[in-house]
Structure 1
Amino acid sequence: MGKTGVQINEEVKKDAMRLAIEENMSYREVARRLGIRNKIQVEVWVKWQQEGRAIEQEAFHKGRPKTKLTRLEEEIALKAEIAYLKKLYPNQHRE
């Protein structure tokens, strides 16, 4: 199995895009010549360049973004939870 998270420097990315666009070389040939594991990566860089995006590797985030609760939001959430539990178990709480 290959390594994951291998970083490819910006010069190699630029060379790959130049070979694919200016030299009309196939993505597979570009990847083979420059030692890039996957031809799809070359295709992605070319697409990004055509869209005018930066060629830095983007991190792919999965799942819901984490949120930080302020102290007030946390207090409100706890009070709501307490009120819910009091309704759920009316004979269990003391006042």
Structure 2
Amino acid sequence: MGKIRRTFDAAFKKKAVDLYLRDGMGYETVAKELGIEPSVVRRWVEHYQAEGMTGLEEKRGKAKGPGIGRPRTNPEDPETKIKRLEAENALLKKLLQM
């Protein structure tokens, strides 16, 4: 089985970042104290330095803006669908007569 992904709230992440930036602790020390991986602390610090508190908020499952992601398909209007199906039927009839 794979690892269970834990999520942390912004306050916990801020505490880890403060221990690193303000208290001068290393990634390893902060990670041991809080029971997380050093790479996680490093990522949080980088996000905090780049974006501030918004960098520490959960981003998974949120759209980044309009037009992002898979485009939605517009259903065919009934008239276009009828014309397409009639053309398809005509072609099939022609093929059956050969």
CA-CA distance at 1:60 after TM superposition? 6.6
In structure 2, the CA distance between the partners of 1:49 and 1:86, relative to structure 1 (3 Å rule), is: same
The aligned counterpart of 1:92 is: 93
What pairs up with 1:1-80 in 2 under 5 angstroms?
Answer: 2-4=3-5, 6-36=6-36, 38-53=37-52, 54=54, 55-59=56-60, 65-69=69-73, 73-76=74-77, 79=81
RMSD after superposition: 3.5
**Structure 2 Cα separation of the partners of residues 44 and 60 of structure 1:** 19
Letter aligned with residue 86 of structure 1: E
CA-CA distance at 1:27 after TM superposition? 1.3
* Percent identity between the two aligned chains: 22
- Decide whether the 8 Å contact of 1:13 with 1:45 is kept in 2: yes
Secondary structure of the structure 2 residue equivalent to 1:57: coil
TM-score by length of 2: 0.61
CA-CA distance at 1:7 after TM superposition? 1.9
Unaligned stretches of 5+ in structure 1? none
In structure 2, the CA distance between the partners of 1:10 and 1:92, relative to structure 1 (3 Å rule), is: same
TM-score by length of 1: 0.62
Higher helix residue share: 2
Q: How many residues align structurally?
A: 84
Unaligned stretches of 5+ in structure 2? 63-67
